[in-house]
Chain A
Amino acid sequence: AQKITQTQPGMFVQEKEAVTLDCTYDTSDPSYGLFWYKQPSSGEMIFLIYQGSYDQQNATEGRYSLNFQKARKSANLVISASQLGDSAMYFCAMREGRWTGNQFYFGTGTSLTVIP
């Protein structure tokens, strides 16, 4: 079974609008972390936001927020007020805890295009 599932290969959003990128995960470890990374066309991987499995509140980092629904095992990334520079590939990732090996798993990514 896939550890991380991103079901949206491509998304379009109008500039200044908000957009939600979906991510679901699968783990039996009670301790895990969820990460989102951005990969612009230049290719580098940029860390955006982190959510821990025991965190009570949804994570926020500037225009990025994480809609964490633990019971549904989903960790959707919300980008508010989209900008042209947000056009990129976005990857959801999960790191499991020490008891299950500390491994990182990545989804297949969502390509976001911001339309002027």
Chain B
Amino acid sequence: EAQVTQNPRYLITVTGKKLTVTCSQNMNHEYMSWYRQDPGLGLRQIYYSMNVEVTDKGDVPEGYKVSRKEKRNFPLILESPSPNQTSLYFCASSFLGRGPGRDEKLFFGSGTQLSVL
């Protein structure tokens, strides 16, 4: 089954304790990205990657790191989490063609609800 697998689903941590949210896709997608969702703000892009070893900042990259060592994996790292990073996080992936086109729609993981105390 084609899917984006994101773990964990829920995470409660304390300020300053490094954490990693994993993301893996089995569709051989070139494009992967991370979003955070906050009430009234919609989905805001944190980082994205067009291919292996190629990553770029989105709209809200401060406090986050990513890496793309393999095509299928795109982990999100919070080196020193703070309470303002409490949010719902989504990983997403898509095919990159000549597009844009319908085939280039984003596939989403099930989300990670993060609480930083």
Contacts and interface: CB of A to CB of B under 8 A. Distances in A.
Interface string A37-77: 10000011101001011000000000000000000000000
A70 B101 CA distance: 16
B48 interface: yes
Nearest to B113: A43
Given A32-B100, A33-B102, A44 B110 contact: yes
Contacts of A44: 108, 110-111
A109 B94 CA distance: 21
A15 B42 CA distance: 26
A91 B90 CA distance: 14
Contacts of B108: 37, 44-45
B101 A103 contact: no
Nearest to A49: B102
B100 A103 contact: no
A58 to B, nearest CB: 14
Most chain A CB neighbours (cut-off 10 Å) among B31, B42, B44, B90: B42
Contacts of A35: 105-106
Contact of B110 (A32, A33, A43, A109): A43
B96 interface: yes
B102 to A, nearest CB: 4
Interface of B: 31, 33, 35, 40-45, 48, 50, 88, 90, 92, 94, 96, 98-102, 104-108, 110-111
Interface of A: 6, 9, 31-33, 35, 37, 43-45, 47, 50, 52-53, 91, 93, 95-98, 102-109
